[in-house]
Amino acid sequence: MAKFTCTRCGKPLAVNEPVFFKLPLPAKGFTEIQANLKLTAQPYCTNCVQVKPKD
Ligand SMILES: [Zn+2]
């Protein structure tokens, strides 16, 4: 199984932990997202990515 660490702080990411993946927006949709995830996606933990919760 692949081990992921946060790209910014290096924190090991636990299974089922919410994470953010940074990737280029694909032109062709979800099929391309899958390919891009393997090649270019970088994981970030929730401490490093601050997203305002939607009310
Ligand atoms: Zn982090």
Query: pLDDT, tens digit, for every residue of 11-52?
Result: 999 999 999 999 888 888 888 888 777 788 899 999 999 887
Rounded distance from Cα 31 to ligand 1 centre (Å): 27
Host domain of residue 20: 1-55
Total domains in the fold of the chain: 1
Q: Which two tokens stand for residue 9?
A: 């702080």
Distance 19 CA to ligand 1 centre (A): 9
Residue 21's beta-bridge partner residues?
43
2 has pLDDT over 70: no
With DSSP H G I counted as helix, E B as strand and the rest as coil, what are the percentages for the chain, rounded to 5? Answer: 20, 15, 65
Å from CA of 18 to ligand 1 middle: 12
Residue 43 Cα to ligand 1 midpoint, Å, equals 9
Tell me what pLDDT residue 19 has.
Answer: 92
**Alpha-carbon gap, residue 7 to 5, rounded angstroms:** 6
